[in-house]
Structure 1
Amino acid sequence: MTAPDPMPTMRAFVLSDGSPRELAPSEIAEYRGSDFVWLHVDGAGNAGRNDLPPFVPDLAAGALLASETRPRCEGMEGGALINLRGTGVRVTTDSDRLVSVRVWVEAKRVTSVTRHPLAALDQVETQMRAGRFTDGGDFVAALAQAISAELDPEVADLGDALDLCESEIDDADLYELRRRITELRSQAIALRRFVAPDRDAMQAMARLEYDWISEEDRLHLRDAADRFARMAEELEAVRERAALLHEQLTDLRAELVDRRSLAIAVVAFIFLPLTFVTGLLGMNVEGIPFAGRGWAFWGVVAFCGAIALAVAGWFAIRHWLDD
């Protein structure tokens, strides 16, 4: 029997006269003040529209509660609908590596929704409690910078891990190294799938012509977009480098197989005439030369040794034994 889905949790903060305070859940729906308010709903989606307060427009509510989202930004009804992806607080069971946050932004009110906890929201809450937000533009700029700051070390770690693989390519187990490189490449592809659209969403947000998006906010949004663009380029570089390393490992493995095949072929070629001689002299028929001589056995051994040395010398002269 499966456990029921947990109920969504709501948290709201209001900035009144520069002094932030947290609203109780019972105050969220009834609050009608003109101060800046941030409402966050974690784990929303199971109860549909009832997970959100009534002041969120139906069109925006449908987008906030959508099961599948990609980073984007659209202006509608005097506000902006923003979807972003960032690092989660914990690893989820979803195939996507990054957690989605959906935000409905108005001049003095922001409603954000997540299905799984987003690590960057802790930084945003800290700034909200410090009274640094006066409108929706400040909030989105802070959220974008926090998400990009959380993602940056993760992207850098992929590059460092790939550098380590490159340094071990001559000494490490080829099969284990190939597995690690394949995993790094998969991670880079999964991250780039959302990092590049995050950049596009921030650029679209910076172009919206709303009075509550100040020039300073646009500067911060463009800065976050530039950071997302740099991470996307680095992830693309990791993907391409991983592909090149994978091809290099394939070549090394093929070369290793060729060397071993050559060694086996050399040994077989040396023993081929020896097998003929010993087979010929080992026939159980009359007339075998020197059959009654005491030195005959050692003479045959010496003759076989001379043949082996001659064949090996021929290989050496033709440089077939060189690495």
Structure 2
Amino acid sequence: MDFLIDAWDFSQHPAKQLQSPSSAAENTWFHFQRDADGLTEWLTQAGIPEPLIDAVLEEDTRPRFQRLPDGFMLLLRGVNLNTGESPEDMLSLRLLYYKGALYSFRKRPFLSIAKLREQLDQQMGPESLHDFIVALIEQLNLRIEDVVSSAEQQLEVIEGEGFDNTASVQIKLTALHRRLLRLNRFIRPQLAALEKLSTETEKVMSTELHQWLINERDTTQRLFEQIDLMLEQVWMQREQLQQAIAEKMNRNTYWLSVIAGVFLPLSFLTGVFGINIGGMPGVESEGAFMIFCGALVIIAIVEFLLLRRLRFW
């Protein structure tokens, strides 16, 4: 069975790995490669209804919780920490708890799942399926928190750079904004799904496990609020950046206007005395050019002093 990645029996503690399970049983966790051939037929033989099979094998999903007569379905998202991938391109993990057995489906590797499998190999992992679900949510949150913390540090660095190089700051803010929006897209519905999970499982989970689940829901709430706050900070940085760009443009325009005002009368005089027609004064005088240049310098100085007195700068 190429579609079966791993299987564990939680009917005893520590959990026991199943080498070649032929059918589903209570207190058993099956981890599947959801795009492998033969999985649909195996799930059908395990007695899982076709609508549920279609739901867990659907290509594009959003985090959600659905209560079932014989269990529940929980669709989650985790950050993509695979080599060469962007963490904000969140991966989909589907959980189906049906008739006492837990089925998980992924398309690409999850470090959170790998961590739990490593703990199970060391006989230090979760003690039950409910414990496994809570531990899995915890692992997902830990990795999301690392990515969010990294984004927060990046935002602090951008804020500390100032706006001397507006083009560079604009590029960094745009990349960070896109990253946060992608995280926020799935964290918001994931929080709602975990809230429903904590409500629906209150009577079937032990008090201690249910409290751990509530803690993880609160962690997701904190991460969502942290992302939301950073989005607001990015918008503020963008507004300050636009203001800095506008001030720079206004300052440059102002100085161009001052320079144009100074040279306007000078350009007028040089234009008038540049006319090659009879009657122009000083045409026959050898010192007329120097006198004219001196007059231009005096006029420029007077304009400079006048603008300074009028507090143009």
What is the Cα deviation at residue 189 of structure 1?
0.8
**Equivalent-residue separation in structure 1 for 2:285 and 2:54 (angstroms):** 103
Task: Pick closer, same or farther for the CA change 1:248–1:207 going to 2, 3 Å.
Answer: same
Q: Which runs of 5+ in 1 are unaligned?
A: 1-6
2:155 — aligned with what? Answer: 162
Tell me which moved more, 289-298 or 216-225: 289-298
Q: How does 1:75-94 map to 2 (within 5 A)?
A: 75-90=67-82
Question: What is the root-mean-square deviation in Å for CA atoms of aligned residues?
Answer: 2.5
Q: How does 1:1-323 map to 2 (within 5 A)?
A: 8-15=3-10, 17-24=12-19, 27-30=20-23, 32=25, 36-44=27-35, 49-50=40-41, 52=43, 54-55=45-46, 57-58=48-49, 59-90=51-82, 97-106=89-98, 108-129=100-121, 130=123, 132-171=125-164, 173-209=165-201, 211-321=203-313
Deviations 1:198-250 (A, max 9, x none): 22211111111565411112111111111111111111111111111112111
8 Å contact kept, 1:87–1:98:
yes
**Equivalent-residue separation in structure 1 for 2:200 and 2:3 (angstroms):** 31
**Equivalent-residue separation in structure 2 for 1:162 and 1:206 (angstroms):** 33
What is the Cα deviation at residue 9 of structure 1?
4.1
Task: Pick closer, same or farther for the CA change 1:19–1:222 going to 2, 3 Å.
Answer: closer
Residue identity matched to 1:166 = E
1:4 — aligned with what? Answer: none
8 Å contact kept, 2:7–2:30:
yes
**Equivalent-residue separation in structure 1 for 2:299 and 2:82 (angstroms):** 70
**Equivalent-residue separation in structure 2 for 1:160 and 1:96 (angstroms):** 16
What is the Cα deviation at residue 255 of structure 1?
1.5
**Equivalent-residue separation in structure 2 for 1:146 and 1:105 (angstroms):** 19
Q: Secondary structure at the match of 2:211?
A: helix
Residue identity matched to 2:43 = L
Q: Secondary structure at the match of 2:10?
A: strand
8 Å contact kept, 1:80–1:105:
yes
What is the Cα deviation at residue 92 of structure 1?
8.3
**Equivalent-residue separation in structure 2 for 1:169 and 1:274 (angstroms):** 40
Q: Secondary structure at the match of 2:28?
A: strand
Residue identity matched to 1:284 = N
What is the Cα deviation at residue 45 of structure 1?
6.3
8 Å contact kept, 1:137–1:217:
yes
Q: Secondary structure at the match of 1:19?
A: coil
What is the Cα deviation at residue 95 of structure 1?
11
Residue identity matched to 1:254 = A
Residue identity matched to 1:54 = Q
Residue identity matched to 1:204 = K
Task: Pick closer, same or farther for the CA change 1:233–1:211 going to 2, 3 Å.
Answer: closer
Please give the TM-score of this superposition, normalised by the length of structure 1: 0.87
Identity of aligned residues (%): 22
Residue identity matched to 2:8 = F
**Equivalent-residue separation in structure 1 for 2:120 and 2:311 (angstroms):** 75
Residue identity matched to 1:29 = S
Number of residue pairs aligned between Structure 1 and Structure 2: 310
Q: Secondary structure at the match of 2:163?
A: coil
**Equivalent-residue separation in structure 2 for 1:152 and 1:209 (angstroms):** 25
Q: Secondary structure at the match of 2:73?
A: strand
Task: Pick closer, same or farther for the CA change 1:278–1:210 going to 2, 3 Å.
Answer: closer
Task: Pick closer, same or farther for the CA change 1:56–1:72 going to 2, 3 Å.
Answer: farther
